[in-house]
Structure 1
Amino acid sequence: MAPPFLDRWSDSSALQLGVLGVGNIGMVHLKSALAMPGVDVVAAADAMPANRDKAASAGATRTYDDYTTLLEQEDLDAAVVALPPFLHADAVECAAEAGVDVFVEKPLARTAAEAEAMIETAREANIALGVDHTLRYQPDMKGVKAEYNDGSVGHVPYASITRLNDHPLGKPPADEAPPAWPMDPDAAGGGSLIELGVHCFDLLEWLFGDLEVQDATMGKTLNIPAEDAATVLLRAPETETTINLHCGTYQWEQLPEVNTRLRLEGVTGTISNKAHMPGNFYAGAAKAALSNVASRFTGGEPDVFGPTFYLQAHYDALEDFCDAIRNDEEPPVGGELGLRTLELAETAYELAAEGDGAELEPPEVMT
């Protein structure tokens, strides 16, 4: 039976949306919504004046220095929560009080307990709660799933996934201090396992069903509070697949262009996301970058999603959420899925704490 909130959306006019937090990923969501048919971005909020200026320049109708004020003063249908993780729970509570559906940037929360409370808040207020887990929206990952589902490689006893990104300190030498919260495990919920691993958990359960965490180790390549490397051994009982997951936020000289590698080792062949990358990935990136530069001189609109396909996945995830609430459906990636990734992460942290605490070296990455 459909939950009560699904009866609220009957107006055929454009969905009125606000963006709470317009830093790096918040601007991605803002630009996605601005390019989306049937969506009006009426307001954006951020504590940083520079971010508010960027949001206004991009097309946000009004800006606020506080997300609570925005939710109190604007008549919204939905809000994107792109704030630091330590503010997610409060933002969802404020949105619930205003009767506003929410699409929350991952991780949904800092802990499983916090996520459970957010899910209950949304349920009591009859609002929709979605989570931005985007790996399942990337075309290469969709290609892997389609090839796996057609059974051409047979049983897959082993799989591996590696996801990498820049550390908050940026390229060496770090000449500017990063924001404080990404370096604080209490504010962010953890280190690289929370930043990157939750995406991998979501993708792997999308492929193989429920996962069991069998072992884990965490490490630091820098003298920092949270781990910047995590390796987790997983098993999918339904498919009898053993999976090795590694994620790292390293202070790279140069980050690999393709930062997620997925391989399924089947009994009759191997499936790799590399084989499903768009054929024009590099040429298309260069063309989009040149087009964006030219648009600054011609007054045209830049390609919101160039120069990489990663931003398109964020667009598709948000569009799916907006379509769901508009069509009186459950969000395709809801709060329970966001909670599940945090449960797996917490189990990994617990197992790692029981180990010897050995530090990890960054993996060699072929580009």
Structure 2
Amino acid sequence: MRARLFDRRSDSSALTVGVLGVGNIGMVHLQSALAMPDVSVVAAADALSENRDRAERAGVPRTYDDYVDLLESETIDAAIVALPPFLHADAVSHAADAGVDVFVEKPLARSTEEADEMLAAADRGGIAVGVDHTLRYQTDMRGVRRAYEEGRVGHVPYASMTRLNDSPLGRPPAEDDPPAWPHDPDAAGGGSLFELGIHCFDLLEWIFGDLEVRDAATGHSLDVPVEDAATVLLRSPATETMITLHCGSYQWEELPEVNTRLRLEGITGSISNDQFLPENFYASAARAALENVAKRFTGEEPDVFAPTFYLEAHYDALADFCDAIRANERPPIGGADGRRALELAEAAYDCVRTDETETELSEVMP
């Protein structure tokens, strides 16, 4: 990366930020940035007028219907890329042309090949790339890692992780048509393995080091073009730990409940993430959720942080990125980390395709 990255900010003024995409996760990032000291959100872009209106109500001075127009018209230090995956590469390319650092929602790209092109463009433009892998910032996951590194259960021969939520279809009855892109493999890159597994791959390598994909299987509970269930068998050569990962978008999830489970089976006991949930988490989160429901009836904007500490992890991830940019340092979770998670997902898909081919051959051979 060019030296420009490390000398681009010399003053003490607020970091100026633009938000590209203010849908569901984009609003989380927007409200995070608005709440941060020494960060100034100067503009947001979204193709939908209702999303732009919501951003303006939140306090954004200017909005655009095209993120390219924002990047060309505004003088900003960083852009939060909260667009669908099929737009990530184009947004990063335009940001690189403008000399704007980027914080990209996961998955970084739709493939490692596309990620390589994005990182090459970022290198040419001398910009930093951060990736929103927020599981590392959850207090429960940090508690698991800390306990493991302290050796509380000794050697861990086996670990398991599950991440479930509902698909873009949501809980019936559907009030609005769901977006089309999450069920389009060309637009999203994949199904639940990309939407949910990407986070899990990153977290598991953060705990156990480099992983190998040993086998994988995918399934369909719903009649959609992408998998809504995936199970992956992984191994850590460094720790000799075998890990099963299951992710699926077939189970309804309502805040404050977050359907993520991580369990380490050590030789002297077990460590699980539910041991590290904040005190009185469910009671306080349920109360905050009810308050948000009441706010909707009165026309007030809900507090995106209140229902669960999971959303606070997005704040912490973005804050770390902004601190790194302000200090002319590399983001703590960078483009290489985002690419690595994609590499593991692709290895899992390769296992699925191999198994399917072998099954087909066994069926036709005498």
With the shorter chain as reference, the TM-score category is over 0.9
Q: Is the 8 A contact 1:172 1:252 kept in 2?
A: no
In the TM superposition, 1:339-350 aligns within 5 A as 339-350=339-350
For residues 26-78 of structure 1, what are the alpha-carbon distances to aligned partners after superposition, in whole Å with 9 as ceiling and x for unaligned? 00000000000100000000000000000000111100000000000000000
Task: Report the CA distance shift for 1:255/1:244 in structure 2 as closer, same or farther (over 3 A).
Answer: farther
With structure 1 as the length reference, what TM-score do the two structures score?
A: 0.93
Contact 1:169–1:251 (8 Å) recurs in 2: no
Name the counterpart of 1:362: none
Could you say what secondary structure the match of 1:250 adopts? coil
> Equivalent residues in 2 for 1:352-367 (5 A)?
352-356=352-356
CA gap 1:182/1:150 in 2 versus in 1, 3 angstroms = same
Matches within 5 A, 1:24-43: 24-43=24-43
CA distance in structure 1 between the aligned counterparts of 2:303 and 2:219, rounded to whole angstroms: 38
- Structure 1: 5+ residue runs without aligned partners? 359-367
Q: Corresponding residue for 2:127?
A: 127
Amino acid at match of 1:42: V
1:1-367 residue pairs with structure 2 within 5 A?
3-174=3-174, 176-250=176-250, 252=252, 257-292=257-292, 303-356=303-356
- CA displacement, residues 93-146 of structure 1 (integer Å, 9 cap, x when unaligned): 000011000000000000000001111111111101000000000000000011
How far is the alpha carbon of 1:173 from its aligned partner? Answer: 4.4
- Cα distance in structure 1, aligned partners of 2:222 and 2:298: 44
Q: Which moved further from structure 2: 241-250 or 302-311?
A: 302-311
Aligned-partner Cα distance in 2 for 1:256–1:34: 23
- Secondary structure, aligned partner of 2:165: strand
Q: Distance in 2 between matches of 1:11 and 1:79?
A: 19
Once the two structures are TM-superposed, the CA of residue 177 in structure 1 deviates from its matched residue by 2.6
Structure 2 gaps, min length 5:
359-366
What is the TM-score with the length of structure 2 in the denominator? 0.93
AA matched with 2:220: K
* Structure 1 CA distance for aligned equivalents of residues 194 and 17 of structure 2: 27
> How many angstroms does 1:255 deviate by?
8.2
Alpha-carbon separation, structure 2, partners of 1:221 and 1:296: 33
Mapped to 1, the partners of 2:280 and 2:292 lie a distance apart of 17
Percent identity of the aligned residues? 70
The letter for the 2-side match of 1:227 is E
Counterpart of 1:355 in 2: which secondary structure? helix
- Aligned-partner Cα distance in 2 for 1:355–1:303: 46
Counterpart AA for 1:262: L
C-alpha separation in 1, matches of 2:295 and 2:354:
55
Structural RMSD (CA): 2.2
CA distance in 1, matches of 2:253, 2:300: 33
1-side partners of 2:301 and 2:180: how far apart?
A: 34
Distance across 1 between alignment mates of 2:150 and 2:132: 27
Task: State the one-letter code of the partner of 2:341.
Answer: T
Name the CA distance, whole Å, in 1 between partners of 2:179 and 2:289. Answer: 27
- 2:92, 2:3 → 1: CA distance? 18
Contact 1:232 1:348 in 2 (8 A): yes
Deviation of 1:291 after TM superposition, in Å, equals 4.6
Q: CA deviation at 1:148?
A: 0.4
Q: What SS class does the counterpart of residue 42 from structure 1 fall into?
A: strand
What displacement does 1:279 show? Answer: 1.7
CA distance 1:98–1:308, change in 2 (3 Å): same
